[in-house]
A and B are shown apart, each in its own frame.
Chain A
């Protein structure tokens, strides 16, 4: 380029975080977290094949404080990614693009994900 010495104007660091772009990056981050969650799930399934010793080892890991913390995180990631995925499907059929609608659906998605996460864990811990 003729003017490659020109500076690049600031972007990510100066752009204002709004509900829209914040939820969008959370969608991507929860997606990445869920891929690791899938590995954890597979390792649990594999441990069943590997025998009693491995199975209880993996179970103990998931039952530890860090394990439970990770599972709680993955639960939120799962519900958030699921409900925001539904929001994306509405967009894919052309619905919900008004500025106000998109903001409201974003808040709804966040609330639903939190309620489902807390609700599921309440059931798990009570049972």
Chain B
């Protein structure tokens, strides 16, 4: 049964407020989820007033400014700052996205930042993604073949065949989609979630892959695939404009078609 309330140790309390420096011109408030595993205290929301006149344009710029100048203990993942590594995925203004590709000016009012939803929090904005990665590994995200490769060339694809895998291959495994999905919140122990299913789709439509039957067999289960109820949060959350919901629908179609 779905658990709608947070467990007692997870309820978020009021935190500290860090005022903007005197003479700040363009102040914006950032409310950020904090959890310190060493304190034994519940998570809290800290408020940081930041002068945007002295800050880069993206949410990630503001977070780095806070870490550099206000509170060096603020903890989050980040790396490429250009939307290709997927590290800085978090819930900003109620929607999962990447902090590096979202502009501060695209958010009206206070900026609320939470960790990706319904995950165990390691510290501040760093959630535990072990299970998410294990699910990705479970779909065997590599080329599986039975026939030997051509002796004098690689396994070639036509341009059209390549285009089928082009878009789903652009997934950066940031987990924005899976952790936006209410079905994944309540059933992630058995439901694969949009990210792993999009990855499955990428291998199902790969003209070189010869394990299509086995891959589909793995999804013939009440939970792994069919917990998708087309809520569409995944598609609206994806920072790479991919469409996991459509990929899942295509997989459901494949399962029907192979019975006909």
Contacts and interface: CB of A to CB of B under 8 A. Distances in A.
Interface of A: 3, 5-16, 18, 20-21, 24, 88, 91-94, 97-99, 102
Nearest to B117: A11
B182 interface: yes
B114 interface: yes
B232 interface: yes
Given A15-B91, A94-B250, A99-B235, 14 more contacts: A6-B37, A6-B122, A8-B121, A9-B117, A9-B121, A9-B127, A10-B114, A14-B112, A15-B117, A18-B236, A20-B231, A24-B231, A94-B253, A97-B243
19 contacts: A6-B37, A6-B122, A7-B7, A7-B42, A7-B121, A8-B10, A9-B114, A10-B114, A14-B94, A15-B91, A16-B93, A16-B94, A16-B95, A20-B233, A21-B232, A92-B249, A92-B253, A97-B243, A99-B235
A92 B228 CA distance: 11
Complex A-B, nearest 10 residue pairs according to Cβ-Cβ distance, in ascending order: A16-B94, A97-B246, A7-B10, A11-B117, A20-B232, A6-B120, A11-B118, A9-B115, A24-B231, A8-B10
* Residue with the highest number of chain B CB atoms closer than 10 Å, among A5, A97, A102: A97
Interface residues of B, number: 44
A88 B249 CA distance: 10
Given A5-B9, A8-B120, A12-B182, A97 B231 contact: no
